[in-house]
Amino acid sequence: MSKSIQQVKEEFNSSGISIAEWSRENNFPAQLVYQILNHTRIPQRGKSHLIAVKLGIKQ
């Protein structure tokens, strides 16, 4: 089951890990992660798709 973007944001808030820190640890551009979480980029393929899978937004 996939998570919603809101659920992912809440997990970041409760974990104390910033999105930028998560991005660095997972070797993803922070700007791309922010775009996905702010609905300004649709994660269809490439790195954005990999980010969505890693965050649990997509299977």
Domain map (residue ranges) of the chain: 5-55
pLDDT, one tens digit per residue, over 5-58 is 999 999 999 999 999 999 999 999 999 999 999 999 999 999 999 999 999 999
Q: How far is CA 3 from CA 8, 22, in A?
A: 7, 17
Q: What is the pLDDT of residue 52?
A: 97
What distance lies between CA 30 and its chain's CA centroid?
9
Q: What is the pTM of this model?
A: 0.90
Q: What is the pLDDT of residue 1?
A: 78
Of 16, 33, 14, 15, give the one whose Cα is nearest residue 24.
33
Q: What are the contacts of 36-42 at 24+ separation with CB within 8 A?
A: 36/5, 37/5, 37/8, 37/9, 39/5
* CA distance linking residue 1 with residue 31, whole number of Å: 26
